[in-house]
C-alpha cells in the first residue's frame, strides 16, 4: 500500500504525533487512508462517498502550514469519516434514504467544523440504516456494510459504515449517531471503542433528526485515549441547539487509576437471553476491573424489561414527527402522484421511504394519534421516568455500572431482517441508557468463536449524568491493562495485512 507504511497500526493520537514529529506528512497519511479504502471497501461497503480530492488538498494545506512552523491542531492530519446523516456543506448527506438522494447541506455541522478546525481531514461519508433506524445496517437504501471480522455478518447498526471503517483501519476516527445504541452496539460487534456522551454534551445541529430526545453524536475510535481527545474537541455548548448543555467541552481526567471506584453489576443484564460466551468475557472483564482496584456492588435496575417497548414508542413517536418534513418540497426527488399536493406528498413518501422507516412512522403516528396518545405515548414517557429513576437510585451507591453492550456477538446478515421484534431486542442492553440520557462507552473485552471465526465482545461502562470523563477514564485504564486492542485481528487476509498491532 502507498503512503505512510505504519498507518494502519496507529491510533489518531499516534498518527498526529508522527506527523508533527515529521516522521511522515499529512499527505502521506491521507494517501495511506485512500489506498486502504480502495483495497478494502469493495468488500466491506463502509463508504458511500470518498472525498479523495478535497482530502488530498486539505492535507497539502496542513503540510504547508506545518512547514511554515504554524501550530498543529489537536487532530492535525487525522483522517476521519462521517455517518451520512451529518451535514457538511456541499457533501451529499442522504441518510441512507432514497428520499434524501442528492441532498447537499448548505452548511457544516458545528461538531464537524470543530474537528476540521483542529486539523482532522474528512475522507468520506459512510453507509447506515435508513434514517438511523436499524441494528444491522440492512435497512440502508444504498448498500449494506459488512463486519471486517467476518463479512457474512453485520457490523451492527445503525452507524454500520462508520464503525466498519474504523474497525478495518481505513480511518482511525469516525462519527456515528447513537439514538438507542447505534454506536455502542456496532463498536462491540466490531471490536473498537464507541462512546455515547451524556445527552446534550454535543450539539445536534447538523445531525439529521431521528428521535430528538435521544439522538447524540457519538464517535468511534481505535483507542480510549483517542476517544477522550475527540470528545475534548467536539463537545461543549452551541447556540444552534437549545438542548445542548451550556457547559464547556469534556475535560479528560488525568488519573491512570480506577482504584476505589465502585462498579455496579446489574443482575438484569446477566439474565436469560445473554449468550454464555459473551457473558464469560464480560464477567472476565469485570474481574479485571476488580484486579485494577475497583470494587463491585450488585445492583438492580428493575424496569430494564420495559426499556425496549418504551424506547420503540418514544423513538417512533419522535421519528414520525421529525420525518414529516420529507414531503417532496424542500429536499430530495419528488413523485407527482395524481397532480394534487396531498397526492404528491403521499406518493413521494411512498417511493422514498424503505419498509423499516414506514413501519416506524406508522407505529409513531399510531401511538400519537387521538385515542392512543395517553395509553401509549404518555404512558411510555412515564415508564421512561421510572427507568431513569432506577439509574439515579443505583448511582447513589456506585460510581459506574458495568454490563455487556450486546447480548450476542455479531449476527449473520439476513438473520433478523424478517422479524422486527427480534431485531429490536438486539438493542436491549443499550436503550435503557439512551432513555435515561446517560454517558456509556463500549470497549473491546475479548473475542468469542462463532462459525470458526473470532468475533469481538464489548464491555459497556455506564456513568451518571455528566460523568463522561469518568466513564472514559475507566475505559482507558481497562484498555491499558488488557491486550484486547492489540490482539491480532482474525480478519479477511486483505484486511489483516498491516493491521496487526
Residue number, 106 or 298, with CB nearest to other proteins: 106
Is residue 83 annotated as a catalytic residue, yes or no? yes
DSSP-derived secondary structure letter, 374: I
Q: What is the number of helices (H) and of strands (E) in the chain? A: 16, 11
- By the 10 Å C-beta count (0-12 exposed, 13-18 middle, 19+ buried), 316 is classed as buried
Cβ neighbours for 492, distance < 8 A, ≥ 6 positions apart: 43, 148, 151
Least distance CB 421 / other proteins (angstroms): 5
Residue number, 281 or 388, with CB nearest to other proteins: 388
Closest CA to 185 of 154, 143, 217: 154
Least distance CB 106 / other proteins (angstroms): 4
Is residue 158 annotated as a catalytic residue, yes or no? yes
Name the active-site residue from 27, 83, 136, 235.
83
Name the active-site residue from 135, 136, 158, 218.
158
Least distance CB 93 / other proteins (angstroms): 10
Structure-derived torsion over alpha carbons of residues 52, 54, 55, 58, reported in degrees to the nearest 10: 160
Least distance CB 469 / other proteins (angstroms): 18
* Helix spans in 323-375 (H): 341-352, 355-368
In this structure, what C-alpha cell is assigned to residue 206?
Answer: 447538523
For the chain, how far is it from start to end, CA to CA, in angstroms? 17
Least distance CB 350 / other proteins (angstroms): 4
Closest CA to 185 of 167, 211, 212: 167
Query: How far apart (Å, rounded) are the C-alpha atoms in residues 338 and 342?
Result: 9
Query: How far, in Å, are 1, 138, 287, 409, 485 from residue 277 at the CA level?
Result: 37, 25, 15, 9, 19
Binding region for other proteins (CB under 8 A) = 102-104, 106-107, 199-200, 213-214, 239, 242-243, 245, 303, 305-306, 309-310, 312-313, 320, 324, 327-334, 336-337, 339-347, 349-350, 353, 355, 358-359, 361-363, 365-366, 369, 375-376, 378-386, 388, 420-421, 424, 436-437
Is residue 162 annotated as a catalytic residue, yes or no? no
Whether residue 175 contacts residue 86, with contact meaning beta carbons closer than 8 Å, is answered with yes
Question: What does 274-298 look like in DSSP terms, one character per residue?
Answer: S-HHHHHHHHHHHHHHHHTT-EEEE
Question: What does 116-138 look like in DSSP terms, one character per residue?
Answer: HHTT-EEEEEE--SGGG--SSST
Residue number, 239 or 251, with CB nearest to other proteins: 239
Which residue reads 463502509 in cell numbers?
Answer: 46
Least distance CB 324 / other proteins (angstroms): 8
Name the active-site residue from 136, 160, 177, 182.
182
Residue number, 290 or 386, with CB nearest to other proteins: 386
Residue number, 291 or 338, with CB nearest to other proteins: 338
The phi-psi region of residue 486 (left if phi > 0; otherwise alpha if psi is between -120 and 50; otherwise beta) is alpha
The phi-psi region of residue 47 (left if phi > 0; otherwise alpha if psi is between -120 and 50; otherwise beta) is beta
Least distance CB 144 / other proteins (angstroms): 21
Residue number, 21 or 342, with CB nearest to other proteins: 342
Residue number, 257 or 336, with CB nearest to other proteins: 336
Residues marked active site are found at 83, 158, 182
Amino acid at each position: 500500500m502507498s503512503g505512510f507504511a505504519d498507518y494502519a497500526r496507529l491510533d489518531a493520537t499516534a498518527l498526529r504525533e508522527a506527523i508533527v514529529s515529521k516522521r511522515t506528512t499529512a499527505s502521506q497519511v491521507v494517501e495511506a487512508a485512500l489506498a486502504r479504502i480502495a483495497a478494502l471497501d469493495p468488500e466491506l461497503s463502509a463508504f458511500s462517498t470518498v472525498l479523495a480530492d478535497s482530502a488530498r488538498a486539505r492535507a497539502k494545506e496542513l503540510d504547508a502550514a506545518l512547514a511554515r512552523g504554524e501550530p498543529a491542531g489537536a487532530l492535525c492530519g487525522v483522517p476521519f469519516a462521517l455517518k451520512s446523516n451529518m451535514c457538511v456543506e456541499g457533501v451529499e448527506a442522504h441518510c441512507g434514504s432514497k428520499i434524501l438522494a442528492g441532498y447537499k447541506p448548505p452548511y457544516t455541522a458545528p461538531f464537524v467544523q470543530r474537528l476540521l478546525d483542529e486539523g482532522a481531514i474528512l475522507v468520506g461519508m459512510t453507509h447506515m440504516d435508513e434514517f438511523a433506524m436499524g441494528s444491522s445496517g440492512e435497512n440502508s437504501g444504498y448498500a449494506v456494510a459488512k463486519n471486517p471480522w467476518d463479512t457474512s455478518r453485520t457490523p451492527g447498526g445503525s452507524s454500520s459504515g462508520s464503525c466498519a471503517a474504523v474497525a478495518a483501519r481505513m480511518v482511525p476516527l469516525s462519527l456515528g449517531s447513537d439514538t438507542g445504541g447505534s454506536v455502542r452496539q456496532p463498536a462491540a460487534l466490531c471490536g473498537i471503542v464507541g462512546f455515547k456522551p451524556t445527552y446534550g454534551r454535543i450539539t445536534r445541529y447538523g445531525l439529521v433528526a431521528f428521535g430528538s430526545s435521544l439522538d447524540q453524536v457519538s464517535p468511534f475510535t481505535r483507542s480510549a485515549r483517542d476517544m477522550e481527545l475527540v470528545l475534548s474537541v467536539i463537545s461543549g455548548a452551541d447556540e444552534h441547539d437549545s438542548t445542548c448543555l451550556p457547559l464547556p467541552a469534556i475535560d479528560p481526567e488525568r488519573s491512570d487509576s480506577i482504584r476505589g471506584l465502585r462498579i455496579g453489576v446489574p443482575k438484569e443484564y446477566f439474565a436469560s437471553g445473554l449468550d454464555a460466551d459473551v457473558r464469560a468475557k464480560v464477567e472476565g472483564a469485570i474481574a479485571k476491573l476488580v484486579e485494577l482496584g475497583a470494587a463491585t456492588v450488585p445492583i438492580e435496575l428493575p424496569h430494564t424489561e420495559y426499556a425496549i417497548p418504551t424506547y420503540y414508542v418514544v423513538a417512533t413517536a419522535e421519528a414520525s414527527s421529525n420525518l414529516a418534513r420529507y414531503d417532496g418540497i424542500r429536499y430530495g426527488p419528488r413523485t407527482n402522484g395524481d397532480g394534487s399536493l396531498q397526492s404528491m406528498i403521499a406518493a413521494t413518501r411512498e417511493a422514498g421511504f424503505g419498509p423499516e422507516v414506514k413501519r416506524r412512522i406508522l407505529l409513531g403516528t399510531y401511538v400519537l394519534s387521538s385515542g392512543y396518545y395517553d395509553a401509549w405515548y404518555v404512558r411510555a414517557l412515564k415508564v421512561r421516568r421510572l427507568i431513569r429513576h432506577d439509574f439515579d437510585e443505583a448511582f447513589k451507591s456506585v460510581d459506574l455500572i458495568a454490563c455487556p453492550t450486546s447480548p450476542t456477538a455479531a449476527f449473520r446478515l439476513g438473520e433478523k431482517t424478517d422479524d422486527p421484534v427480534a431485531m429490536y431486542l438486539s438493542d436491549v442492553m443499550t436503550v435503557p441508557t439512551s432513555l435515561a440520557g446517560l454517558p456509556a462507552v463500549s470497549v473491546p473485552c475479548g473475542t468469542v468463536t462463532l462459525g470458526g471465526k473470532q468475533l469481538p465482545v464489548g464491555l459497556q461502562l455506564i456513568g451518571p449524568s455528566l460523568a463522561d470523563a469518568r466513564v472514559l477514564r475507566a475505559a482507558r485504564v481497562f484498555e491499558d491493562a488488557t491486550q484486547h486492542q492489540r490482539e491480532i485481528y482474525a480478519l479477511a487476509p486483505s484486511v489483516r495485512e498491516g493491521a496487526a498491532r
